[in-house]
Amino acid sequence: MSRSIKAIVYQAHGKPEEVLRLEEQKLPTPAADEALVRVLAAPINPADLNQIEGKYPIRAPLPATPGFEGAGVVEEIGGSVQGLAVGTQVILPHDLGTWREACVVKADKLVTVPDKIKPEQAAMLKINPLTAWRMLHDFVALQPGDWVIQNAANSAAGRAAI
């Protein structure tokens, strides 16, 4: 893989169409406990847009690369990495900024995913499915036979709840 990648970056918060820029970045060589991951899919979520606009509760230091979710394939591993092989499909960490071609990340922050799951689906496994699970488990003790009524059932979280 080239040691240079393209990434979406913003220097200031604002409307995505006004503040996002495509930029060339140097890709570091993985340290002993890191992996180089080629990003295959990274969705655009409302939370990503809120982050860019500065409306998300936690603000990334600027300049920043957006993207809370993503999946990719391991292309290189550091010398002390165990239990992770080149060619493994992984889900990227939440705080990384996934709107980039590739990244170097601590190997223990990666979640392996079976190859039979398409990268576009794997990239969306962290936020909305867990939000649906929490809605169904953390707020009301549902019992067999109980009903759940929801609005916005067309959202990804709503579809996961269904």
Structure tokens at 132: 């649906």
Is 56 known to be catalytic? yes
Structure tokens at 33: 């406990």
Region class of 158: left (phi > 0), else alpha (psi between -120 and 50), else beta: alpha
> Which residue among the candidates 56, 75, 117, 158 is catalytic per the annotation?
56
Report yes or no: 60 and 51 within 8 Å, Cβ to Cβ: yes
Catalytic residue IDs: 56
